[in-house]
Structure 1
Amino acid sequence: MPALFRFPTTPLRQALLVLVLLLLPVWLLGEHAYLSINDNLDSELVAPYLLPRLGVLLDYRSTAVVPPLMDGLPRNALRSGLSVTMQLFAVLPPLPAYLLHALLVRLVALLGFYALARTHWLRKPEDTELAALLALAWATLPMHTIYGLSVGGQPWVLWAVLNLREGRRRGLSWLTLAVFPLWSMFVYVGPFLLAGIGGLLAWDWWHGRRAHLGAVLLGAGLLLASYLVVEYPLLYSLLIAKQFVSHRVEFDISQLLPISFLNGLKSTLHYLLMGQYLPGLFFRGVILAAVAVALTKCEPATRRALGRQLLPLGIVLVLTAVFCGFYPQLLTALQAYIPLLRTFNIGRFHFLTPLLWFVVLLLNLRALPLGRLQVGLAVAQLILGLAMNTEWTTNLRHLAGVAPATEPSYAAYVAPRLFARVRALLHERTGQEPPAYRVACLGLPPSVAQLNGFYTLDSYQNNYPLRYKHQFRPLIAGELAKNSALRAYFDAWGNRCYLFSAELGRNFRVGAAQRRVVQHWAFDAAAFRRLGGRFVLSAARLARPQESGLRLLAVQADAAAYWQLFVYEVALPSE
């Protein structure tokens, strides 16, 4: 272990303690805590929960499937079992696993930024407080922790690369790069970290700094090799064995977004000033203020040195924002010629920008004299990040008893008692357990049913067979015909392979309090039955279920649940 962490300084201890205290509300609330739903509970929690329980966590055979998802989703379409995230969920129930995982990710993130700052920029003894404050601000950003260290752990990657660039701590730095893929996601950060390292190598080559390029190149090779090992099942199934054709080949972003120069400019400004919500959506205002203050108050010599450091970082951040902002236009122009652009999103360079912005903040605060202004800006960034961390602020509101009605707690969202009643009802009706029949959901994410043991034909998946998408579409073709936006949402994207209703639109969380009624639902019950479906679990009442080829079995409710469920069964004329 580096000497840096053998005897932590008091500011580091304090930062770690404050981080634990800030995360305490979610632990105090337990199952009544709020966990982010979009791209989290509605999708990412399912695979870590199901794979170990079905015994296919490390089963990479081309014949391995996950029966509860889409009537047998290929196992290799899901996350690698070598991930630390997956292994943690394999030994703990989902909620404790999620909470412990989030805590560990943020602790490692804090230690990583502290190590980066103290090793490469804030080396003086009097800089420890600033380094700890910035590390705390970094660790509390609203990043999606379910993606492991994909964002929060990037300081460790930069720490290792800068070490190799300076010719020190080679063994530990190579080890850091080799193990990083075990706790991060290749599709979100792997290629972009490699591109960033490649850019740094090119910069050093151009400026004649070639003494340690081989060490950095070897580090990049270890990072890539480790990713290839960890993500071998996915890469093998898609590129070598061609186990299935991904639904992503039909992605067409031009149908989903208005393509114009003005919209590209708006997106550019948003990426530049706010970022994107998956790696962490936060306003860059405090950092820009720090830049303005440092350039105003510094001595001329310090200002010139700071400007030389900020210029390349600023250019990278602006070019990244422009690339991401105009990525839809680029993709529209090139996707017909380069099919890979449809299936792999090369616009995710924005996953690297939170760290780059924090380096900008660090450099500017370092240039300021020690004092209240320096600490005040760091604290302001900490407060801003916390204020924009909706999971944290919503849990404070839950503790205060003023939580928004549309943001249910984990227990209310998963609603185990409610779904247990539904399961008992269907067992009484059929004499069968969930593996023997298939359901689909309307007005609620299928993940809720999946986390309660049901086998669903619908799901939210980033990667699944195109053939299945085409088999599923007839179920909802009538509703897609009513709404061009929903039609494009499914046909040109389709990650949410859901039962759609034109009347509900993209409201996929119809709470019991909303009392939504769907007047006319053009559902193809015969196609549903051919696909293996038998029951529809709906959070909205169907005014005329017989028009949809369904009959109402029961209405199930529970005071502790976010949902009220209307349980429908297929009722074909032949029956």
Structure 2
Amino acid sequence: MISRSLFLRPLPLALAGLLLFLLTFLLLGSHSYLIIHDNLDTEIASPYLLNKFHVVFDYRPTTLIPSIMNGLPRNALRSGLSPTVWLFGVLPPWAAYLVNQALVRLLGLLGMWALLRRRWLPEPGQRGLAAGLALAWATLPIYSIYGLTVLGQPALLLAVLRLRAGRGRWWDWLLVAAFPVWSFFVFVGPFVGAALAGLALYDFWHGRQAAALKVGLATGLLMAMYVVVEWPLFYSLLVAQQFVSHRVEHDLLQETQLGLISGLRQSFNFLVLGQYHSSQFFRGAVALAVMAALAWAPGGWRPAARKLAPWLLGIVGVSIFCGFVLQGVALVQHQLPLLHAFNLTRLGFLLPLACFGVLALCLRLLPAGRHSVTTGLVGLQLLTGLAMNTEWSNNLRELAGRPKPHEPNYARYVAAPLFNTIKTYLARRTGLPPSGYRVGCLGFAPAVAQLNDFYTLDSNQNSYPLPYKHQFRPLIAGELAKDDALRSYFDAWGNRCYFFSHELGRNFLVPATPVRTVQAWALDARAFQRLGGRFILSAARLATPAHSGLQPVADFAHPDAYWHIYVYEVAAAAR
């Protein structure tokens, strides 16, 4: 029989708290709100399509994803060794996402708990603080589609520290080897590797050769596993390119604001909030903890300041680096083209763990008599993370029956019944399945159509062949000519290879109501057809489709869909 006291222990309470957090997703299921930007509009389609076309482990240079951009090279998408990809192979996309999130947050909680109890908050009386801080870590506003890129860092750090101290076991080596499997190299790999290499050099410099050797071996194992997991990327970078990426035309001079004020503003954002991909949360609890430690630490503020200084200087230094580095890279981008492959501001992915390290150190420095202060700081951090977690807060609104009107949940955003109706209608009209024609999307992300099994000429991709960008540009050249901001957005960046309208701008969430009408849309219909395009699926009504070489086909609505889709076909005169 399980003792009732078990559920009063700190770790089970933290796990229960995580279960309550995840309960909103469990209750809502496919009606859960999922982050849209760079997530539902981009990342979720990738593992779904890898499984749909059975190319998860097919790394041959000739393998393509036919439903994206007339055949996107398979190796432009993520590794097939990721557990996230495997989940999308056995579950519907929404369920795979939610299970992936639950696993990532659970492992993140356990990893942070272990790090806190073994290293940062090891005293018996600190169990409650460790549990609360581990729960705060596990509920941060992260992109869970990136796996353990952020939340898995505590487990990796603990494993390396145990190996360094000579107390490592086989499972510590296993943790080091496993981290690359469920994290993104381009986000954290180079920076974690550099940090560990720096630690090994530090130990060697101070005469701790045994510790330096073990950290060095751990670093080597980590990077070797990244090479295995991300073999197509490394092969393309170091041996032979499968294709020339559109990223070679990234022009940071057009995309980056130069100057001291801009750099300071960006540095301040990294310091106070962080970058949204790497977990954006207000660092107020950390700042208050530092002030409390300096005010109340036994022995005065000077010893506390000496202990906190390396952490704080590191966080400030990384924030300043991230705030200014793109300006420096922009000035040398043509001399160092490899910098197009890696965004150095992603060093900021290490900041969340560093901030929690500062918070934990401050909790250690505060005397036992300040229990209300330490508890309040942990509670504040937990509440701050929850308040800034848009998935959780929007799902609370969903459960309360008061969703945000322009933040659709998964079911309304993907709108499967609506797009199934469109597919059925077009099958009757053309006698063809979706693979028999190509579509373009206006006013909504092409990932929506891809998740509904349409074949799109447009897409949002981190890397795709440069020739395709050049083939696609004439289709939208008329709209780009009307708007310098859109022209720069496509020409100098181009990840979003979309059918733009200068009247819509970057609005890819055009709702069914009120009806949005585009008065004059400059599509080159002949170029669209030459690329294989036949239909435009638009979330906005075109006032003069004939001027775009299009003719209206039909429009479709569904009470549970966010969109009202207008279907246009290339007119016979434009063919």
TM over 0.5, shorter chain? yes
> 1:332: Cα distance to partner?
1.4
- The C-alpha deviation readout for 1:232-287, integer Å capped at 9, x for no partner, is 12322454231100110011122123211111110011111110001110111110
Are 1:565 and 2:565 matched, yes or no?
A: yes
Match in the other structure for 1:383: 383
Q: Please say if residues 252 and 342 of structure 1, whose CA atoms lie closer than 8 Å, have aligned partners that are also in contact.
A: no
Q: Do structure 1's residue 357 and structure 2's residue 355 form an aligned pair?
A: yes
Q: Aligned partners of 2:555, 2:245: CA distance in 1, in Å? A: 37
Whether 1:33 aligns to 2:32 is: yes
**Matched residue, 2:525:** 525
SS of residue matched to 1:514: coil
Aligned to 2:494: 494
The residue number in structure 2 matching 1:166 is 165
Once residues 204 and 110 of structure 2 are traced to their aligned partners in structure 1, the CA distance between those partners, rounded to angstroms, is 31
What whole-Å deviation, never above 9, does each CA across 1:394-418 have from its counterpart, x for those lacking one? 1111111111111001100000110
Deviation sequence 1:335-362 (CA, Å, 0-9, x none): 1210111232122100000000000000
Contact between 1:238 and 1:244, CA under 8 Å: does it hold in 2?
no
Amino acid at match of 1:422: I
Assess if the C-alpha contact under 8 Å between 1:238 and 1:245 holds in 2: no
Aligned to 1:573, the other structure's residue is in SS state helix
Which residue matches 1:245? 244
Moved more, 194-203 or 109-118: 194-203
Which amino acid in the other structure matches residue 13 of structure 1? Answer: P
Amino acid in structure 1 at the alignment position of 2:379: V
Matched letter for residue 141 of structure 1: L
Distance 1:73 1:227 in 2: 23
Q: 1:327 aligns with which of 316, 325, 328?
A: 325
Alignment CA distance shift 1:356-1:8 (3 Å): farther
Q: Which residue of 1 aligns with 2:451?
A: 451
The answer to whether the aligner puts 1:438 opposite 2:399 as a matched pair is: no
Cα distance in 2, alignment partners of residues 149 and 429 from structure 1: 46
- The answer for the alignment partner of 2:338 in structure 1 is 340
- Contact residue 524 and residue 549 of structure 2 kept, 8 A: yes
1:69 aligns to what?
68
Q: Is the 8 A contact 2:199 2:212 kept in 1?
A: no
State the partner residue of 1:3: none
Structure 2 match to 1:213: 212
TM-superposed deviation, 1:515: 1.3
**Structure 1 position 10, deviation (Å):** 1.5
Report the equivalent of 2:3.
none
| Alignment gaps of 5+ in structure 1 | 1-6
| 8 Å contact from structure 1 (residues 26, 33) kept in 2 | yes
> Closer, same or farther in 2 for the Cα pair 1:30/1:215, shift >3 Å?
same
Cα distance, 1:202 vs. partner? Answer: 3.1
Q: Conserved in 1, the CA contact under 8 Å of 2:550 and 2:569? A: yes
TM-superposition CA deviations, 1:379-433 (whole Å, max 9, x none): 1100011000011101111111111111001100000110011101111110000
CA offsets per residue over residues 441-466 of structure 1, 9 Å max, x none? 00000000000010000001001101
Equivalent residue letter for 2:462: N
Quote the residue 1:15 is aligned against.
14
- Is it true that 1:482 corresponds to 2:482 in the alignment? yes
Aligned residues: 568
2:444 touches 2:509 (CA, 8 Å); kept in 1? yes
Q: Would you identify which runs of 4 or more consecutive aligned residues in structure 1 move more than 4 Å? A: none
> 1:37 Cα shift?
0.4
Deviations 1:110-146 (A, max 9, x none): 0000000111122222111111110000001001000
1:2-151 to 2 correspondences below 5 Å: 10-151=9-150
Contact map agreement 1:25 1:399 (CA 8 A) in 2: yes
Taking the aligned partners of 1:338 and 1:41, their CA distance within structure 2 comes to 33
Letter in 2 for 1:280: S
Contact 2:254-2:492 within 8 A present in 1 as well: yes
Question: How far did residue 53 of structure 1 move?
Answer: 1.5
Q: Could you tell me which amino acid in structure 2 is paired with residue 63 of structure 1?
A: T
Is 1:429 the counterpart of 2:420? The answer is no
Q: In angstroms, what is the RMSD of aligned CA positions?
A: 1.4
AA in 2 matched with 1:82 = L
* Corresponding letter in the other structure for 1:32: H
Distance in 2 of aligned mates of 1:267 and 1:241: 36
CA offsets 1:301-333 (integer angstroms, 9 cap, x no match): 6x4443233211111111111111012211111
Q: Tell me how far apart the structure 2 counterparts of residues 143 and 63 of structure 1 sit (CA, whole Å).
A: 34
Distance 1:487 1:255 in 2: 11
Task: State the one-letter code of the partner of 2:195.
Answer: G
The amino acid of 1:368's aligned partner reads L
Find the aligned partners of 1:410 and 1:140 in 2 and give their Cα distance.
20
CA distance in 2, matches of 1:22, 1:85: 20
Report if aligned partners of 2:525, 2:574 keep a CA contact under 8 Å in 1: no
1:505-544 residue pairs with structure 2 within 5 A?
Answer: 505-544=505-544
Counterpart of 1:216 in structure 2: which amino acid?
Answer: V
Report if the CA contact (8 A) 1:247-1:494 is conserved.
yes
| Cα pair distance change 1:447/1:433, threshold 3 Å | same
Distance of 1:543 and 1:268 partners within structure 2: 45
Q: Which residue of 1 aligns with 2:273?
A: 274
CA distance in 2, matches of 1:535, 1:17: 50
Letter in 2 for 1:347: T
Q: 1:551 aligned to 2:572?
A: no
Partner of 1:395: 395
Alpha-carbon separation, structure 2, partners of 1:116 and 1:519? 58
Q: What amino acid maps onto 1:469 in structure 2?
A: K
Cα shift at 1:76? 0.6
Structure 2 counterpart of 1:503, which letter?
E
**Cα distance in structure 2, aligned partners of 1:342 and 1:183:** 24
- State how far apart, in whole Å, the 2-side matches of 1:241 and 1:429 are: 45
User: In the alignment, residue 58 of structure 1 is paired with which amino acid?
Assistant: F
Give distance in 2, aligned partners of 1:9 and 1:319: 41
Identify the range of structure 1 (556-565 vs 47-56) with the bigger mean alpha-carbon deviation. Answer: 47-56
1:464-486 CA distances to partner (integer Å, 9 max, x unpaired)? 10111111000000000000000
- 1:23-48, Cα deviation, whole Å (9 max, x unpaired): 11111011111011001001100111
Query: 1:61: how far off?
Result: 0.6
Distance 1:220-1:239 versus aligned 2 partners, 3 A rule: same
Distance 1:329 1:256 in 2: 10
Q: Could you list the per-position Cα deviations for residues 207-253 of structure 1 after superposition, in whole angstroms to 9, with x for gaps in the alignment? A: 44443110010000110000100001232245423110011001112
1:4 aligned partner: none
Counterpart for residue 304 of structure 2: 306
Q: Secondary structure of the residue that 1:439 maps to in structure 2?
A: strand
Matched residue type, 1:519: Q
TM-score (norm 2): 0.97
Deviates more, 1:203-212 or 1:179-188: 203-212
Question: Cα offset for 1:572?
Answer: 4.3
Percent of aligned pairs with the same residue? 56
CA distance in 1, matches of 2:30, 2:54: 26
The farther-off stretch of 116-125 and 454-463 is 116-125
